[in-house]
Amino acid sequence: ETNPYIKRMADGVALFLASPENPIRKNTPELNVFSDFNYARSTAEQMDTLLWLFAHPDSPRQHDPEVLRRLLRRTHAYLDAINVHGPALSAGQLASFYDDFAIAPASIVFREFQSLYPGLIPANTNAEWDSAMTIAADNLWAAFRNRNASWVNTDVAIAVELFNFGRKTGRQELLDKAQYFIDDVLTSGRMFEDGAVGYIGTQNEAGGYQGTVASYVNRYYQMTEHPQALEILQKMEWYGPINGPMIDWWTSPSWKHAWNFISGSGQTGESTNGKNPYVRADMDASINAPASVSNWTGHQGSVAWYERGTTPLSRPDYTTFDRNIMGPRSWQGLWNYTGTLRAINDSESGHHTLMGCQIMETSPSFRVNASMMGIFPRIRVSSGPSRDTNGSFFEERHAWLTSKLTGDSTVTPSFSSLAASYKPHVFGSSTKGTEHNWTARQIWLNLPDRVIGLLDLAPNANLTAFEVQGAIRLGHGGTAYSSSKTIAATGAESWDYGDLSVKLHGHNYAAVTPEVYAFRSPNAPFTEITLRDQTDGATNTTARTYTAGSRWNFIAEIRPKATTSDVTVTEVADAPGLVGIEVQGPATDNRYRVLYNPGPGAVIHTPALDWGGPVRIHRSGTRFRPDWLPAPSGELPVETLTSGQPITIQPTAHVVLERIPPPDVGASILSPASETVTLSSTTQGLDLSASVTQTGGGPPVIAWSQLDGPGTVVFSNTGSLETRATFPQPGVYRLCVTATVDPSVATAERKVIVQPPADLTFRQGENDYQHTATFIRNDGTGNANAIWNSGARNQILVGFNSTGAMRSLFSYDLSSLPAAFPVQSARLDLWTSPEAGAGTVGSLTLHALDATPTEGSGSSTSDRNSGSGTGVTWIRRTDATENVNWLGPGGDFSGTTLSSVPGYAANITTEELKSFEGNADFLTTIESARATNTPLNLLLQSSNTSGTNFTRFHSDDSSTMEKRPLLTLGFSNNLLPSVDPGSAPDATVAEPAALTGTATGADTLSWQLVSGPGNASFSDSTSATPTVTFDRSGSYLLRFSATNPHGTVSAELVVEASHATAFAAWQELHWPGITDPDIIGPNADPDGDGLSNLAEFNAGTDPTDPQSGGPSIWT
C-alpha cells in the first residue's frame, strides 16, 4: 500500500522540477529578497519539503542532484537575507523572513542540513550559515523572551524556530521557551474536549488554524519526542470527524470570521491517529487528489503517521453537542448548522454570531454554495452610516457582539435548540469595544432541514442610539469564494440566496432592505437583509432616544432551497416571565414550543396546550452525542408532560416541549415472498418471517393471527417475527402479522391455499360435460346473416367478413367447482380449423358476456332456415320462444379484456393452438359467476373492422374431441415446494441412520434438529437423504425444509434412537428368537398401546402387554 503522503510529494516535486526556475536575486542593503512575508513562507515550505525528499531514506528522490540544487538555492538566499537585513530587522509575525510561518520551517533546514551534510557546505558558506543562525537566534530571543503564550498558531511556530536556533547555538533559554509554548497549549485549558485548540484566551478555535497548530506541534514532536507535544496531537484526533466536511468559520473568534475557506474541514492532528476509520476517511479525501505544482509541500510530517490497512468509514448524517464550540452541530447531507455558546471572558471580544449555517454544492467540486455568516440584532452607535466609503460594512460603528453571555442549548438526535441573553458591544477587532446597556436575546429551534430563531433587542434604560437594526448576513466566500450569488425575492419578506432560502415570519421593524457590502474579495461581497426601526434609518445622523421597555424583534427561518415543506412560527404570548416560539410543522404531527427564562429567578409555568397527543419535555443542558463519537450520550431520558403539570424553568434555562408524533411503524412479510402461495398438503408446515420498520416508540409487539379459513391455524410462536404455521384441513386461509408500537399499528397479510384440488378442465363431451360454443355474425348482403344461428356448426368464426363482424360466444356451467377454493388461474384453449380462414385476423380479445346465450341448432350456412329460431343470433340472445334480444346487436359484453392473443395469418390449413391466458379480470369474472350461481359467459372478438379477415376454430360440435374448446381452471398460485421426510429409520446411538426425504419444486433443502435429549449430526444437512447420528438415546424431532422463491415449507419426523447392546438384549428378553422388525423394531408397536418399542424400552414397560402399568424389570 503506497504511502499517499510520499506519493503526493514525489509526484508534485516532479512537476515542480520540470517547471522553469527563475534566479533568486542577491540581497543587498537596498534589496530584501524576502520583504514579502508570503514569499518567505512559500520558499521556506519548499525548503522544508525539499530537504525531506533529498535526505530521507524513504524518499524516491533521495540524493537527487536537482532537488539539492533547488534546496540550496533557496537556503542560501534565505540565509543571505538574514545576514544582510537580520541585524536591523525586528523579529515578529509578518516581519519579512522573520515571519513565524516562514522562519520556523526554514530553521529546520538550517539546522538539519548542516548537521546531515557538513561536507556539502564550503567553509566560507558554512561561516555565513553560522552567522545567520546566530543573528536570527539573537533577534528571536529579543522578540520572544518576555512573550506570554497567546496566539496559539504563532506560539507553536515560535516553539519550532526557538528549538532549532537554540539547539544550533547551544542556548538553553531558547529551548526552554520553546517547550513553554508547547506545554501551555495543555496547561492553559485551550485544548478542547473534541480536539480543537482555542485561538487565544477563552476564544473558540479559529477555523483553518487547526492545521497550522497541528503542523508545528508535529514538527516539534518529531524533533524532540516531547510527550506533551504527542498528547496535543492525540487529543486533536476527533476535530475533523466531528467538524464535518467543511469548517463552520462563523464560530471563529469575531475578528477572524472572514478568514474562510470554501472547501475542506482543515486537517489537524488527525494524521497521528490514522487507525480511526473516520479520521482515515478525512485523510484520504484530503491527500488522494492529484498532485500539482502547488500542493506538494508540507506533507512530510504526516508520512510517519500513516497507518496501512485502516478501512475508511464515512460519517453518517448527525446532530451532536460539540464540545469544541459548546453548542449544537448538525450535518444532514449538504446542509450544516452550528451554534456556539462558549463562555468568553468579559475582557475579551465576544461572539460575532451565535448561529450560522451553510449549504454545500458538489459541482464543480465539494464546496460552499452559500452561508448564513451571521444573524443578530444590533445598534448603530455612530452618526456615520453603516456603509463605509469603500462600500464595505463599517463594523466599528455598531454594537452587536456578545458580552456577558448567558444561556444554554439542548441537543437531541432529531433537533437542537439554543436560548441566550447578552449585552451587545462594539466591534473592535481582537480588542473588545464599548459595551452598551441593551439586552439582546436569541431563541433558536433547529430542525434537520432548517433553523428558526427569534431575536430581540431592548434598552435597559432610556438610552440613545442612531438606529436599531436586525441583520441576516449571507455570503458565498471570503478569503476564497465560490460562484457569485445574488439575493432574489420569492415572496413577501422571503428570499433565495444561492441554494439557501430565508423567510421572515414576523417582526416589528419599520423597513426591511437587502444590502450588498464589499467583503474580503471584490468577487465575493456579502449580502445583508437589514431590518431597520426607522424608514429613514440608513441616512439618519441624529441620536434618538429609545425608552426602557421598548423592544424590537424578528423571527427568521433559514433552510436549504430544496426544502419545500413549510412551518408556521409564532411568538408565545401566554407565558409571563418567559420568551419563546412555537413551531408547527413541517409534518402535520410536528409541534414544538421553546420557552426561555431570561430572568434572575426561576419561573413556574403551566403550559396550555391543545396538541392532541403526548408531549415530551426536553430541558436545556441535554447533550446528545451519537455512538460513533467519543463520550456518546446513549439514549436520552424521557420526560413527558401531563395535563395541568407545572414546569419549573431555572434562570437562563429553557425547555422545549415537543409533541410526540405517533410512531411510524411498517410491517412486511418476508416469507412467503408472494402475496398468495399454495401449500400442497396439510402434512406440511409453512415457515413465516416478517420485518418491522419504525421511527419512534419502543420495541414493537408482534402478533401472528388467522383472519379467515376453514380451520384453526396453529402458530409455533405468535409473538415472534419468525414462526411456523400448520393447517388442520384444506382450504384458503388468510394470515396476518401485526406490529404494534402503541398507539400505531401496522399489518401485513398473506393468503395461503392449502391442499387445493387439481386443475379442472371443461370440454364438450368429456365426462358428459356440455357447454355452449357458437358464433354470431353480421355479414352478408345488407347484413342478412345477422339472423343466422350457428349452434350446430363444427366451427366458430371470429373476425370480419366483407360487410360485417363475426364473434364467438361461450358459456360454461361452473357449479361443479369446489366451493372452498377460488379459482387462481384460467385458460381458454382454441384450435384453428383445417379449413382455412381468410386474410389476416387482428388481435383477438376475450370479454365477459353479460347474459347467457341459447346455443341453438343452426348450421350458419346459406340456408337461412337452418336452425332458425332455435338460438342466439347477432340480434337475439335466446330462441324464438323466449324471444329476448340483445340490448345492443352483436352481444352485450364488457369492454374489459380478460385475455388476448396477437393477430395472425388466418388463411392457413394447419391446426394451431391459441391459448387465452386469463388475467386478474378473468378470475374476477369467474368468481362473480360463481357468486351469482350463473354460467361463465364469454365473448371473443377481433380488432378487424373491414375487409375479409377472419379465423376458424374447432367448435364444441367438432368431430375431433381433442380439438374442441378447452377451459382449464386452476386452484393453485405460486406453488410452494412439497416435502416428505420419509419414514423414521431404526436409529442406534453413535451410528449413522439413513433419512429418506423427498422434495419437489425446491431450490434448497435443509434438515435440522428441533428437539431431543442430545445432539443430531447430519452428514449433509442440505441433502434430502443424508445420514443422521445421535449421541444419546431417546426421541428426536427432526424438521425437513424446502425453499423456493415463494417461501419455505417443512415437515417433521420423530426418530427414536436406542443404545445398540442394551436394546438388543431387551428385544431378546421379550421376543426370544424373533427377528421381524415389524414386531421387535424400535419403532414397532406390537401390543398396540400407542407406545413404540423404544419408548417402552426407555419407560421400562412391557411391550407385549398393552395393559402393562408398571416397569418390566430385566437384568
What is the per-residue pLDDT for 270? 58
Q: Counting runs of H as helices and runs of E as strands, what totals does the chain give?
A: 16, 56
Backbone angles phi, psi at 308, to 5 degrees: -75, 150
The superfamily CATH assigns to domain 664-754 is Immunoglobulins (2.60.40.10)
Q: What is the CA radius of gyration of the chain?
A: 45
Q: Where are the domains of the chain?
A: 4-302, 319-563, 664-754, 760-970, 978-1058, 1060-1099
**521 vs 912, more confident:** 912
3-state secondary structure of 793: coil
Residue 256: is its pLDDT beyond 70?
A: yes
* Predicted confidence band of residue 427 (pLDDT cuts 50, 70, 90): very high
Q: For residue 60, what is its C-alpha cell?
A: 524516491
Estimate to the nearest angstrom the gap between the alpha carbon of 603 and the chain centroid.
41
What is the per-residue pLDDT for 1090? 87
Rounded CA separation 349/346 (Å): 8
Please state the pTM of the whole predicted model: 0.71
Handedness of CA 977, 982, 984, 985 (dihedral sign): negative
Backbone angles phi, psi at 838, to 5 degrees: -140, 140
Residue 789: is its pLDDT beyond 80?
A: yes
Over residues 316-335, the pLDDT tens digits come to: 999 999 999 999 999 999 99
Residue 612: is its pLDDT beyond 90?
A: no
Residue 468: is its pLDDT beyond 90?
A: yes
What is the per-residue pLDDT for 258? 64
Residue 861: is its pLDDT beyond 80?
A: no
* Predicted confidence band of residue 1110 (pLDDT cuts 50, 70, 90): very low
On the CB side of 684, CA atoms within 13 Å amount to: 30
Amino acid (one-letter) located at 1079:
I
Q: Work out the average pLDDT over 1050-1073.
A: 87
Over residues 167-196, the pLDDT tens digits come to: 999 999 999 999 999 999 999 999 999 999
What is the per-residue pLDDT for 1112? 39
Q: Work out the average pLDDT over 20-49.
A: 96
CATH number of 978-1058: 2.60.40.10
Contact 837, 906 (CB under 8 A): yes
* Predicted confidence band of residue 308 (pLDDT cuts 50, 70, 90): confident
**1107 vs 1030, more confident:** 1030
Which range has highest mean pLDDT (658-662, 962-966, 1068-1072)? 962-966
Closest by Cα among 594, 205, 634, 647 to 410: 594
- Asked which of 284-293, 416-425, 969-978, 1102-1111 is least confident by mean pLDDT, the reply is 1102-1111
HEC readout, 1026-1082: CEEEECCCEEEEEEEEEEECCEEEEEEEEEEEECHHHHHHHHHHHCCCCCCHHHHCC
Over residues 897-949, the pLDDT tens digits come to: 999 999 999 999 999 999 999 999 999 999 999 999 999 999 999 999 999 99
Residue 209: is its pLDDT beyond 90?
A: no
- Torsion, Cα 131 134 140 142, to 10 degrees, reads -120
Residue 272: is its pLDDT beyond 80?
A: no
Helices (H), 884-982: 920-931
What is the per-residue pLDDT for 666? 96
Q: For residue 323, what is its C-alpha cell?
A: 464540545
Q: For residue 149, what is its C-alpha cell?
A: 503564550
Q: Which long-range contacts (C-beta less than 8 Å, at least 24 apart) are formed by 21-29?
A: 21/70, 21/73, 24/73, 24/74, 24/77, 26/80, 27/77, 27/80, 27/81, 27/83, 27/84, 27/85, 28/84, 29/84, 29/85
* Predicted confidence band of residue 268 (pLDDT cuts 50, 70, 90): low
* Predicted confidence band of residue 310 (pLDDT cuts 50, 70, 90): confident
Q: Work out the average pLDDT over 757-771.
A: 96
CATH 2.60.40 holds for 319-563: no
Averaged confidence pLDDT in the chain = 94
Over residues 59-104, the pLDDT tens digits come to: 999 999 999 999 999 999 999 999 999 999 999 999 999 999 999 9
- Asked which of 467-481, 614-628, 754-768 is least confident by mean pLDDT, the reply is 467-481
CATH number of 4-302: 1.50.10
Amino acid (one-letter) located at 757:
P
Rounded CA separation 406/783 (Å): 98
On the CB side of 288, CA atoms within 13 Å amount to: 8
Closest by Cα among 84, 86, 95 to 35: 95
Domains 4-302 and 664-754 share a fold: no
Residue 526: is its pLDDT beyond 50?
A: yes
Residue 1111: is its pLDDT beyond 70?
A: no
* Predicted confidence band of residue 261 (pLDDT cuts 50, 70, 90): low
The helix-helix angle for 152-169 and 123-144 (nearest 10°) equals: 140
* Predicted confidence band of residue 963 (pLDDT cuts 50, 70, 90): very high
What is each CA distance from 969 to 178, 536, 847, 958, in whole angstroms? 93, 87, 17, 22
- Asked which of 285-289, 678-682, 764-768 is least confident by mean pLDDT, the reply is 285-289
What is the per-residue pLDDT for 1115? 33
Residue 1113: is its pLDDT beyond 60?
A: no
- Asked which of 55-59, 203-207, 353-357 is least confident by mean pLDDT, the reply is 203-207
Q: If 0-12 CB within 10 Å is exposed, 13-18 middle and 19+ buried, where does residue 159 land?
A: buried
The helix-helix angle for 65-85 and 123-144 (nearest 10°) equals: 60
Spatial CB neighbours of 1011, under 8 Å, sequence gap ≥ 6: 1036, 1037
